[in-house]
Amino acid sequence: MVSCKSDDDNQPVTEKAKRTVFIYMAGENNLSNFTSNDLQEMISGVGSIPANCRMLVFADKADSKTKPFIAQITSNKQQPLDTLYKYTNDFYTSDADCFREVMERMMSLSPSDEYALILWGHASGWAVEKDTIVGPSRRAYGVDNGTNTNSNNGKWMNITQMARALEGLTPFKFIFADCCNMGCAEVGYELRNATEYFIASPAEIPGNGAPYDKIMSSLFKSGSDMYRGIVDGYFNFYTDFYHQKSPISVSGVGYENLDGFSVPLSVIDTRYIAQLAERTRDVLSTIAPQYPNEPDLKGIPYYWQFDAPVMYDMKAYIQRYASAADYTSWKQTFDLAVPYSRMSFKWMTIYYELYDTSFSQFDQTADCGCVSMFIPQNGTGYTSGSYAYNKYANNFGWNRVLNWSRFGW
């Protein structure tokens, strides 16, 4: 593999735009086949892009004949995907330095008053390793196998590395993570200086990802019209989709009625995420268990299961254990930091243990915020193994503010 740098000349769009939306498609993995479908959705929705705005796509597919490229989505029927820049060599899209170079290049190709970013690809929320690593079982965002195959055995970019790569750039109006498990407090806090709003699902998302033609107009709006439009368009699309597809055969489960399934999604207003971290730290002083005791989390929705259930809903956890007065005060801050969400207690998952045994056990009366957070426990998946959650969660600024070590964890 070689550097992402190149000596080729840029082909900038000279007229300044009001907003340019970037899509970073990390597709050199088993999602490669979905790149064409999503690009077509963007092309189909091009009529919803305001005349003074643009959409640029960086794409890296599992195709040795096609090098990574940057293109603009246009209304030109003869050339709807207008290539602005071709890289001469392949490179790891999960390399933080290359990620930074692509961001800078897209900004230079499309001068704009403001920018927004869509992260397209695989993810698993807060990372559990110190640095980007090789291997299929330890991950964060955007695996790139480096072999132009459909394998997920490659390199990943941890969110801490992503945050450093975005330092000093013009903050995005929003970062929309169209990938799994990114809707967690740890990621929102880590990216607080890189974006005004962070939009993501705390759970797994379908391989087809966002219905771009349905949400296109919302990508260029502002404030609540922007984030409500993205969330509602995404959520409603899959609510209808699963209703129409029921029943369907699910690997490891058999035939399942998917009526009621969707994709839970939430919005983090990064202006208030630091305040929420401090308020959560204060509440934990009264409710966090002293090691080796651990909280009873039965019934609280969690959004991922690998070695063990993990990424529990933070609002449901605080509600269960905080006093009424503390919860009311904490919730005021939470509502500022998470101004909008759409909760689904069922979603498609590749982890049949979660699918088969736990959805029915979720307490659907819980006041869920659709944002997850790390809560330490004693199980093997938390103390050792591939992830060792109790150890590696401390890589993140959110958990350093919460300071679980106060309680012996």
Closest residue by Cα to residue 189 from 306, 281, 117: 281
Closest residue by Cα to residue 140 from 390, 400, 387: 387
Closest residue by Cα to residue 400 from 307, 278, 266: 278
Q: Which two tokens stand for residue 103?
A: 């961001």
Q: Which two tokens stand for residue 154?
A: 């490659």
Task: Indicate the Cα dihedral angle 147, 148, 150, 154, nearest 10°.
Answer: 40
Query: Mapping DSSP to helix (H, G, I), strand (E, B) and coil, where does residue 232 land?
Result: helix
pLDDT score at 139: 62
Interacting residues of 245 by C-beta distance below 8 A, sequence separation 6+: 258
pLDDT at 315 over 80: yes
pLDDT score at 14: 64
What value does the mean pLDDT of the chain take? 90
In eight-state DSSP terms, residue 211 is -
- Per-residue confidence band for 381, with pLDDT thresholds at 50, 70 and 90: confident
The CATH number of domain 17-244, selected from 3.40.50.2300, 3.40.30.10, 3.40.50.11970, 3.40.50.300? 3.40.50.11970
Distance CA 204, CA 284 (A): 28
Task: Indicate the Cα dihedral angle 230, 397, 345, 122, nearest 10°.
Answer: 60
The 10s digit of each residue's pLDDT in 159-179 is: 999 999 999 999 999 999 999
pLDDT at 119 over 50: yes
Q: Contact, 268 vs 125, CB < 8 A?
A: no
The 10s digit of each residue's pLDDT in 261-279 is: 999 999 999 999 999 999 9
Rg value, the chain, Cα: 21
pLDDT at 408 over 50: yes
Query: Mapping DSSP to helix (H, G, I), strand (E, B) and coil, where does residue 295 land?
Result: coil
Residue where the block lists tokens 């964890």: 409
In eight-state DSSP terms, residue 50 is -
Q: Contact, 218 vs 233, CB < 8 A?
A: yes
Q: Show me where the domains of the chain are located.
A: 17-244, 270-340+349-407
